[in-house]
Amino acid sequence: MSSADYWSRHLAKSQAQGVSVYAYAKREGLPVYTLYYWRRRLGLASSRSIGIQDNKFIPLELDHCGGNVHGGNCNLILHCGARLEFLVLPDAHWLAQFLQAMRCGLR
């Protein structure tokens, strides 16, 4: 098996498992930078180039907020089953970054 085939298989596995290159490499004991190198060399897409873009809304199920989103608790239930409870709605930019992190490596 060639080096390109070897690394291509690892990259395909990380993508199929829905984990970041970093998380996959750490879990499998592979050099992180080598896996990134081969992803670039093979021209494979990163999560950012396959549709996960900054400043885009993603669907969330908003649980009952007591009729007033500025007072009372709000619960966000994510597709992965995680439930986030807030006393007040968080900053939209912070929430977007948090959701990006959840999608890219905290599965």
Cα distance between residue 80 and residue 77, in whole Å: 8
Segment 97-107 mean pLDDT: 64
In this prediction the pTM is 0.42
The edge-to-edge listing of strands for the beta sheet with 61-62 is 61-62, 74-77, 83-86
Q: What is the pLDDT of residues 30-42, one digit of tens each?
A: 999 898 888 888 8
Q: What is the pLDDT of residues 41-61, one digit of tens each?
A: 887 655 444 444 444 555 655
Could you tell me if 72 and 37 are in contact, meaning their C-beta atoms sit under 8 angstroms apart?
Answer: no
6: left (phi over 0), alpha (psi -120 to 50) or beta: alpha
Stretch among 17-21, 72-76, 102-106 having the lowest mean pLDDT: 102-106
Q: What percent of the chain has pLDDT over 90?
A: 7
> So where are the chain's domains?
3-50, 61-105
Q: So what's the pLDDT on residue 28? A: 92
Q: What is the pLDDT of residues 85-95, one digit of tens each?
A: 877 777 788 87
Both tokens of residue 12?
Answer: 């395909």
Cα distance between residue 96 and residue 24, in whole Å: 23
Q: Where are the beta strands (DSSP E) in 1-107?
A: 61-62, 74-77, 83-86
